[in-house]
Amino acid sequence: MASVTGRRLDWIVAPAPAPLRGVLRVPGDKSVSHRALMLAALAEGRSRIDGFLEGEDTRATSRILQQLGVHIEMPHDGSRVVDGVGLRGLQPCAQPLDCGNAGTGMRLLAGLLAGQRFDSTLVGDASLSRRPMRRVIEPLAAMGARIDSTQGLPPLRVRGDQSLRGTVLRTAVASAQVKSAILLAGLYAQGSTEVREPQPTRDYTERMLEAFGWPIDYGPGWARLQGGHALRACDVQVPADFSSAAFFMVAATLVPGSEIVLAGVGMNARRTGLLDVLRAMGAEIDIEAPRQQGGEPVADLRVRHASLRGIEVPVAHAPDMIDEFPALFVAAALAHGRTIVRGAAELRVKESDRIAVMAQALRALGARVEETTDGAVIEGGTLRGGVVDSHGDHRCAMSLAVAALRADAPVRIGDCANVATSFPGFEVLARQAGFDVGIGT
């Protein structure tokens, strides 16, 4: 598969030569970075974002907002200064708006653009062009929006000048992207917009709307706001991304003798499901110096090697660890006993079909993995070296790099360039921790 950069990059990762060590700071949270840019763009006044993720996904959102007339400065890497244009200040752009690989970018922007007075077209790369968009098109249509697609797939042509009305929407899938698209459209709707979810999902949009001064009521699994207010500029400190930290959490757990500290990791309760599951499997992870940073809980995580036992992952945890299943699959393949994952069908419509990609790759390394429609049954054991393919999926690529640490020979991982969408500099940080990652030729 072509990556967003058009490059083809393979990694060769050797078995861990030594225990993993060090204090590591992974890049800023992707979900928070997207939302901070969007709300800052629509606010009145100048906002500063620090800890911003310099990934291709969030940079695509930044470029799109610039195409829509927002002035965004980058004082240095990881920092943005955004001159908000106000709720009605975006300018039309005749060119397609390219979200790259980013489902979050496209779905949230669909909601935001549905409220504008002008038409826009959202496009994405090959992977994003296969991802389902009816989940946002249909609820937005129920609010009066008009979005054309090709059988529910991108490109999305978002028609402007529709009058949106608030309503109560029950989402069919537990998806923070869908909830957020509805809430962003709700800023432009007449009356009250309410979202009810089948299971609670991450509440960053709700928290950040509050921080930018928009009145909102919310709790686990629901949120309600009214149109007709204004967003006020706000400075945002983005925590380190729990999902990026997850690879190192699993790696240090798996490699004998390891001890690492992951610094300043975002600990939003709707994101930390993997922590609970790894601990239930026997992991030794301590939460140190818990604190608040810009309205979000953060902490340092000390991770020591431990041997793991397989478990049945509680279905209720699925939305709270939805991006961490590829890493969990690796932990399960090296645990004692059987791990059962259910209720995670959403994995099939991520940047790749993550159940199929991880099952195929782990089997190529000798693991016993049985796919089910909404999860997998994984028998723990040992792994051998070999050749696997991440199918251009950043999280599968990094998870397979973790698997290689405990294989008996090097693993060649194909199609890793998209790691830059969420975790620029992964190889550098991984080497700093003790991974032996080389580039395949």
The pair of three-digit structure tokens given for residue 405, joined into one six-digit string: 């640490």
First to last CA, the chain: 17
| Count of residues in the chain | 441
d(CA 420, CA 112): 25
Torsional class of 434: left (φ above 0), alpha (ψ -120 to 50), beta (otherwise)? left
d(CA 85, CA 63): 15
Q: How far is the CB of 300 from ligand S3P (least distance, A)?
A: 23
Q: Which residue has the CB atom at the shortest distance from ligand S3P?
A: 31
* DSSP code per residue over 293-349: ETTEEEEEEEEE----B--B--GGGGGGGGGGHHHHHHHHHTSBSEEEE-S-GGGGG
DSSP at 418: G
CA dihedral 364→366→370→373, nearest 10 degrees, is: -30
- Contact between 104 and 29 (Cβ < 8 Å): no
User: Do β-strands 153-159 and 146-150 pair in parallel, antiparallel, or remain unpaired?
Assistant: antiparallel
Q: How far is the CB of 323 from ligand S3P (least distance, A)?
A: 5
Nearer to ligand S3P, 104 or 162 (CB): 104
Where would I find the beta strands (DSSP E) of 51-89?
A: 71-73, 79-85
d(CA 435, CA 437): 6
Q: How far is the CB of 389 from ligand S3P (least distance, A)?
A: 21
Active-site residue, 323 included: yes
Q: How far is the CB of 202 from ligand S3P (least distance, A)?
A: 6
- Contact between 237 and 23 (Cβ < 8 Å): no
Residue 132 φ/ψ, nearest 5 degrees: -70, 130
Binding site for ligand S3P (CB under 6 A): 31, 104, 175-177, 180, 201-202, 322-323, 346
User: Do β-strands 375-379 and 338-341 pair in parallel, antiparallel, or remain unpaired?
Assistant: antiparallel
Q: How far is the CB of 217 from ligand S3P (least distance, A)?
A: 20
Which residue among 323, 389, 393, 415 is the active-site one?
A: 323
Q: How far is the CB of 117 from ligand S3P (least distance, A)?
A: 26
Nearer to ligand S3P, 176 or 278 (CB): 176
Q: How far is the CB of 42 from ligand S3P (least distance, A)?
A: 17
d(CA 159, CA 60): 21
H/E run at residue 285? strand 284-293
Nearer to ligand S3P, 103 or 380 (CB): 103
- Contact between 264 and 240 (Cβ < 8 Å): yes
Q: How far is the CB of 133 from ligand S3P (least distance, A)?
A: 11
Nearer to ligand S3P, 51 or 410 (CB): 51
Catalytic residue numbers, as ranges: 323
